[in-house]
Amino acid sequence: MEPDEFTAKKTDALEALEGQDLSALSIEEPEDRAARLGAEIARAEAMATSKRASKNAADAVFKA
């Protein structure tokens, strides 16, 4: 898979979620959706933190 294809597919998935009509969902469905999205946000934030720490460690090695 080409990098541009991967980025395009990720963007399309996010855009599909944004602005969806949630009015037809039951009470539990938006709550479940919010919980699952919250977990995914936490996972993405943890990965960003890990990558930032790796970059900072590499920067420290090359500055020394």
CA 13 to chain centre: 11
Residue 27 pLDDT greater than 70, yes or no: yes
Burial (CB count within 10 angstroms: exposed 0-12, middle 13-18, buried 19+), residue 33 = middle
Domain hosting 39: range is: 27-64
Is residue 60 domain-resident?
yes
Tens digit of pLDDT for each residue in 35-56? 999 999 999 999 999 999 999 9
Q: What is the pLDDT of residues 11-25, one digit of tens each?
A: 688 888 888 999 999
Residue 22 domain-assigned?
no
- Which pLDDT band, with edges at 50, 70 and 90, does 3 fall under? low
pLDDT of residue 52: 97
Q: How many CB atoms lie within 10 A of CB 8?
A: 11
For the chain, the domain total comes to 1
The answer to whether residue 54 sits within a structural domain is yes
CB-based contacts of 30: which residues, under 8 Å, 6+ apart? Answer: 22
Q: Is residue 6 part of a domain?
A: no
